[in-house]
A and B are shown apart, each in its own frame.
Chain A
Amino acid sequence: MNAFIAVVRRDLRLAFAQGGAATMAALFFVLAVTLFPLGVGPESQVLARIGGGVIWVAALLAAMLSLDRLFQADYEDGSLDLLLLSPLPPSLLVLAKCLAHWLVTGLPLAIIAPVLALLMNMDAHATPTLLAAMLLGTPALSLIGSIGAALTVGIRRGGVLLSLLVLPLFIPTLIFGAGAVEAASTGLGANAYLLILAALSMLALVLAPLASAAALKLAAE
């Protein structure tokens, strides 16, 4: 448990020391959403209609952009080998890194999302649902993404391949995340969607660390 916390703290400290990842992902998220009113026109009706989906797609891309550094930096400077040699089981190591990734990207994205909902002129009823959906869904993004990050860790210019591997696996989260917001803004109950999102995150929590750990061990050989 100590080793687990140590890895999480190390990753958080690295993320804030470099000052890059966390703010970059959030900034990208805001910018990507801002492009839509400029692209499709500023009619508030249209924006309110597409807002939930746009925010979710932007969140997906923002989470994905930061994924390629999840293991890559450690792989390059050799600390990945040492982390794998530590008494911490590889799957827990993955979990620790995913937790740090989520704290640095997923959580800020979820917190910014309601502000962007205002920009997109979305219904105020939908905002709590959006926040809940982002909080429940973004862990799945970090966890599923870790599989792609671990598989592409040893590959030169693996970033594009990473998106090809990970985006199809993100689709269920996108569907139910956007569906929750849609249901809330049309006045239907969003509970079913939120429960499925939670289920997706739970499933990813159990399965993704195992797959990522297997891929990491392969890369470290």
Chain B
Amino acid sequence: MTNMLHRFANPTRFLKLADAIRPWAFAVALLGIGVGLVWGLLFSPPDYQQGNTVRIMYVHVPSAWMAMFIYGCMAVASATALIWKHPVADLVAKASAPVGAGFTALCLVTGSLWGQPMWGTWWVWDARLTSVLILFFLYLGYIALWQAFDDPAKAGRAAAILALVGAVNIPIIKFSVDWWNTLHQPASVVTMAGPKIAASILWPLLLMALGFTAYYIALLCVRVKAEIMARRARQLRLLANT
């Protein structure tokens, strides 16, 4: 495991892997999101209570999963960067943040659009909504901290510490709907007793989640590559100046 870790600490080797993964990830993303959207929006049954509004779920739920999943990835990458001084893990964490912030924003916006017809309000200050909003601010703070330093190595370590501190929020989001009895419904897909929703809804939902995850991986390949190139360009510029 650590052997693998050190193998891909070499940026060139990592780039080779990223270049190999990228087209596949984009293909899976396109397929998953394409099929999932068409299936979810056109062919899945409407909810007996919510009617067609339930279709917002096919975007809302996967983006909420991604918001938490990406923060989790960021925290793991940050820990890896701090503990093993892994140069690529740093970049993975940095490249993840804007993507995660995007999914969190998507989750908040779709949730708000769903809340208006269903709960009769755009926003309620319940535990889950609030904790996702905090997650969004954590992403923004993380990005701002990266930008505040001139030296990327220092910025990376400071941001990694912040990411790990913020990771305390993730379990709070996950379990907020179970701990506090609020307007937001409790978990219905990943429960101890198995999924509580019908297969005709579950399949397109899972396809969307797969597509979103693949899209994240594809973006990660692109962004980490861009970041490695930017670092090289920076180093060349520094060399040229001396």
Residues of A within 8 A of B (CB): 147, 151-152, 154-155, 158, 161, 164-165, 167-169, 171-172, 175, 203, 207, 211, 214-215, 218, 221
Determine if A165 and B145 form an interchain contact, defined as CB atoms under 8 angstroms apart. Answer: yes
Given that A164-B140, A168-B138, A218-B158 are contacting pairs, would A147 and B165 also be in contact in the complex, using a CB cutoff of 8 Å? yes
Q: Of B154, B157, B158, B166, which one neighbours A169 at CB under 8 angstroms? A: B166
Verify if B144 is at the interface (C-beta below 8 Å from A): yes
Determine if A152 and B154 form an interchain contact, defined as CB atoms under 8 angstroms apart. Answer: no
**Bound CA span A154–B151, Å:** 11
Kindly name the residue among A147, A215, A218 whose own CB sees the greatest number of chain B CB atoms within 10 A: A218
Shortest CB-to-CB span from A164 to chain B, Å, is 5
**Bound CA span A88–B166, Å:** 27
Subset of 24 A-B contacts with CB under 8 Å: A147-B162, A151-B145, A151-B158, A151-B161, A151-B162, A152-B148, A154-B149, A155-B149, A164-B141, A165-B141, A165-B144, A168-B138, A168-B141, A168-B166, A169-B166, A171-B130, A171-B134, A203-B168, A211-B161, A211-B165, A215-B158, A218-B157, A218-B158, A221-B154
Contacts of A167 in B (CB 8 A): 137
Contacts of B145 in A (CB 8 A): 151-152, 161, 165
Residues of B within 8 A of A (CB): 82, 130, 134, 137-138, 140-141, 144-145, 148-149, 154, 157-158, 161-162, 164-166, 168, 172
Contacts of B82 in A (CB 8 A): 214
Contacts of B149 in A (CB 8 A): 154-155
Contacts of A211 in B (CB 8 A): 161, 164-165
Q: Of A155, A171, A218, which one neighbours B148 at CB under 8 angstroms? A: A155
Contacts of A151 in B (CB 8 A): 145, 158, 161-162
Query: Beyond A151-B158, A168-B137, A207-B165: 9 further Cβ-contacts under 8 Å?
Result: A147-B162, A154-B154, A164-B144, A165-B144, A165-B145, A169-B166, A171-B130, A218-B157, A221-B154
**Bound CA span A152–B145, Å:** 8
Interchain residue pairs A-B with the least CB separation, the first 4: A168-B137, A165-B141, A164-B141, A168-B134
Instruction: Classify the interface of chain B: helix, strand, loop or mixed.
Output: helix
Closest to B154 in A: A218
Closest to A152 in B: B148
**Bound CA span A171–B166, Å:** 12
Contacts of A175 in B (CB 8 A): 130
Contacts of A147 in B (CB 8 A): 161-162, 165
Contacts of B158 in A (CB 8 A): 151, 215, 218
**Bound CA span A134–B82, Å:** 35
**Bound CA span A32–B82, Å:** 40
Closest to B127 in A: A175
Determine if B134 and A214 form an interchain contact, defined as CB atoms under 8 angstroms apart. Answer: no
Kindly name the residue among B82, B161, B164, B172 whose own CB sees the greatest number of chain A CB atoms within 10 A: B161
Closest to A167 in B: B137
Determine if A214 and B148 form an interchain contact, defined as CB atoms under 8 angstroms apart. Answer: no
Closest to A168 in B: B137
**Bound CA span A158–B148, Å:** 8
Contacts of B148 in A (CB 8 A): 152, 155, 158, 161
Shortest CB-to-CB span from A165 to chain B, Å, is 5
Shortest CB-to-CB span from A40 to chain B, Å, is 18
Shortest CB-to-CB span from A63 to chain B, Å, is 17
Contacts of A152 in B (CB 8 A): 145, 148
Closest to B156 in A: A218
**Bound CA span A12–B5, Å:** 47
Closest to A151 in B: B158
Contacts of B154 in A (CB 8 A): 154, 218, 221
Contacts of B130 in A (CB 8 A): 171, 175
Q: Of A154, A161, A214, A218, which one neighbours B144 at CB under 8 angstroms? A: A161
Contacts of A158 in B (CB 8 A): 148
Shortest CB-to-CB span from A99 to chain B, Å, is 20
Closest to A165 in B: B141
**Bound CA span A215–B161, Å:** 7
Shortest CB-to-CB span from A84 to chain B, Å, is 16
**Bound CA span A169–B135, Å:** 10
